[in-house]
Structure 1
Amino acid sequence: MDQIKWGIIGCGNVTEVKSGPAFNKVENSSLVAVMRRDGEKAADYASRHQVPKWYDNADDLINDPEINAIYIATPPDAHEDLAIKAMLAGKPVYIEKPMARDAAECDRINAMSMKTGVPVFVAYYRRALDYFLKVKELIDQKVIGDVRFVDICLQWQPYDEEVGENPKPRWRVDPEISGGGHFHDLASHQFDFLEYVFGPVKYATGIARNQAGLYEADDIVMANFEFESGVLGKGSWCYTVNKEQREDQAQIIGSKGRITFSYFEKFDIKVETEAGTEVFNIPYPQHVQQPLINLIVKELRGESKSPSSGTTGARSNLIMDWITKANNSGF
């Protein structure tokens, strides 16, 4: 491909700043059309972002001859069907994370990619952000020696619409749509980046429960996992604490020190060794998906390789399946 001409299916909130504008900012890339089932909202998005065309039917966008690559930004329940339709039309797909609702759906997407020869990419953009590349660099350079274990803690308060007398759960906590709860939405980023740094997880188990009863999905998850490299890991995710208890921290413990960083909210990376403490402050870019989209465009043009593919993207779903389905019936 010479020029990558994108169509977006599902122009919701994630596309407003994180991803959508980046398609026009990357060299040799442009956003040609957007689609949303609500035609008025699709038209509004197209007008505000200066997108030439809009649709209210996904098939019409997929079959638009001007479009040669498709970004699927719908909730996960539609990812498999839309990705397969796009690949059958010969158009590469860039899929929002998580790649699908579970590992089986991811496998079917990747099987179609193999069959058609059409590439799949997944929006695990931390693989291309300077903040996370710095964490990887520090580990690769053995600044903290040999890594012993990883510790993740994510504590989040319920969203406003999930509490009160008449709660209105978001689609992210409807397992039929998202595949799980907030764990599936957020931990997918965490496990993808950890595998980028340490290689494949070979074993993971955990307990997933619903304690607060605000919605059907699990709201607390505890997990243990092990990488093929020998590094061990543990994590806790709770989405029903108060605002004062909110925490987003990951620690990588090595034989000569530790690295503390955040996955979602903070821009500091703290490195502690015998030599002292050093802090790196690396803010995210305005459009956080732009560095990854740039690499995807380059791969489609035959210039380089994207660090995120359908194969790597499916791994987070597999790990989350191991954890949430391992012991849901109790001890």
Structure 2
Amino acid sequence: MKKIRWGIIGCGNVTEKKSGPGFQKADNSELVAVMRRDATLAEDYAKRHNVPKWYTNAEALIHDEEVDAIYIATPPSTHKEYAILAARASKPVYVEKPMALNTEECEEMIKACEENDVPLFVAFYRRAMPALLQVKEVIESGALGNIRFVTTVHHKKASEQEKNGNLPWRVQPEISGGGHFFDLASHTLDFLDYVLGPIESVNGFATNQAELYQAEDIVSGSYVFESGVHGTGQWCFNSYKNEDWNEIVGDKGSLLYSTLQERPMILKDEQGEREIEVVYPEHVQQPLIQTIVNELNGESHSPSTGKTALRTSKVMDQLVANYYQKSGSL
């Protein structure tokens, strides 16, 4: 069994605990190099995480002969650039979510990887988290019966940083693709794609209510899955509280769960309700990283690819299209 040697481009906050250690702890996996433009920060990360090499140039890391595969953990604005560079170097690509700024960029990344015969994976890691896979298990067990609809409600308070005009990159569309919706709702929509199948029809409305930044801060939408299941979603990022829940309803019961918060699921039917415990792994991306390493070794297939992530990008673009078409940026 071959040990996959990883290089990380962009060793920021997401790599500190969520992903970075997962490359070191997964079976047959090793983190051998990291890159950050700031040399001091790159060196500091490498020393703290016992990584033997660090770079300030992405191409240098990509072309390192001791690096087998590339993890791109930069903001979405550079995902396409680095993914194409890695593909042309014949290195498998694992890219953070959202996959890119928009659907068109996602398609370019997929094309480049196909032309260079390298796999492309995306960090929609909830597809492999044991805690969230319990949702899939409940559905497949028949406990909910025939699925009829799913409802999502996600509220988030505006941060003091946003209120003071010191805007994080996640609400700067030229860097992130949009507002918090693209960063957070992408997890929910992608996981629904995984457990309920692809979405085939979408209607959405996005506006900016609080006017703290240029991006949309509220999105409402409805959609229909290829299976015939209906869905509605409401995402508000200027609310008075932080809240995140989804309810999948069938003709025998329903399941209430959170995409982003570690809290019990609630299974309901005519006899009553019961809680299902949810426990997150220490490094939330490690289970998905393991599936990628396994695929690169020819053992199995990872559930989160460029093509599955492309579907999520298309849905998000359609949900906010009315807002960005007005400004001419979509």
Q: Tell me the TM-score normalized by structure 2.
A: 0.97
Tell me which residue corresponds to 1:155. Answer: 155
Give the deviation of 1:131 after TM superposition: 1.4
Distance of 1:329 and 1:84 partners within structure 2? 27
Distance of 2:171 and 2:203 partners within structure 1? 21
Trace 1:1-331 onto structure 2 (pairs within 5 A). 2-164=2-164, 167-242=165-240, 245-326=241-322
Per-residue deviation, residues 46-105 of structure 1 (Å, max 9, x unmatched): 010010010011111011110010000000000001000001001001000000011100
Give the deviation of 1:144 after TM superposition: 1.4
Q: Which moved more, 1:69-78 or 1:124-133?
A: 124-133
Contact conserved, 1:33 with 1:51, CA < 8 A, in 2? Answer: yes
Give the deviation of 1:275 after TM superposition: 2.2
Distance of 1:250 and 1:205 partners within structure 2? 19
Give the deviation of 1:321 after TM superposition: 0.7
Runs of 4+ with >2 A deviation: 326-330
The letter of the residue matching 2:213 is Y
SS of structure 2 residue aligned to 1:156: strand
Distance of 1:95 and 1:328 partners within structure 2? 25
Distance of 2:162 and 2:118 partners within structure 1? 39
Distance of 1:210 and 1:83 partners within structure 2? 32
Per-residue deviation, residues 6-34 of structure 1 (Å, max 9, x unmatched): 00000000000000001110111100010
Distance of 1:93 and 1:9 partners within structure 2? 11
Per-residue deviation, residues 248-287 of structure 1 (Å, max 9, x unmatched): 1111111122110001113211000012211111210000
SS of structure 2 residue aligned to 1:298: helix
Give the deviation of 1:230 after TM superposition: 0.2
Distance of 2:295 and 2:324 partners within structure 1? 41
Per-residue deviation, residues 169-209 of structure 1 (Å, max 9, x unmatched): 11010000110000000111111100111111001111111
Cα distance 1:16–1:328, how it changes in 2: closer, same or farther (>3 A)? closer
The letter of the residue matching 2:232 is K
SS of structure 2 residue aligned to 1:308: coil
SS of structure 1 residue aligned to 2:205: strand
Contact conserved, 1:77 with 1:177, CA < 8 A, in 2? Answer: yes
The letter of the residue matching 2:302 is S
The letter of the residue matching 2:125 is Y
Distance of 1:160 and 1:290 partners within structure 2? 32
The letter of the residue matching 1:253 is V
Distance of 2:209 and 2:325 partners within structure 1? 14
Distance of 1:54 and 1:239 partners within structure 2? 37
Give the deviation of 1:328 after TM superposition: 5.8
Contact conserved, 1:36 with 1:55, CA < 8 A, in 2? Answer: yes
Cα distance 1:116–1:329, how it changes in 2: closer, same or farther (>3 A)? closer
Contact conserved, 1:72 with 1:79, CA < 8 A, in 2? Answer: yes
Cα distance 1:175–1:304, how it changes in 2: closer, same or farther (>3 A)? same
Contact conserved, 1:36 with 1:56, CA < 8 A, in 2? Answer: yes
Per-residue deviation, residues 304-324 of structure 1 (Å, max 9, x unmatched): 110111111111111001111
Q: Tell me the TM-score normalized by structure 1.
A: 0.96
Distance of 2:77 and 2:108 partners within structure 1? 13
Give the deviation of 1:327 after TM superposition: 6.2
Distance of 2:284 and 2:316 partners within structure 1? 24
The letter of the residue matching 2:314 is L
Contact conserved, 1:7 with 1:71, CA < 8 A, in 2? Answer: yes
Runs of 5+ unmatched residues, structure 2: none
Cα distance 1:59–1:329, how it changes in 2: closer, same or farther (>3 A)? closer
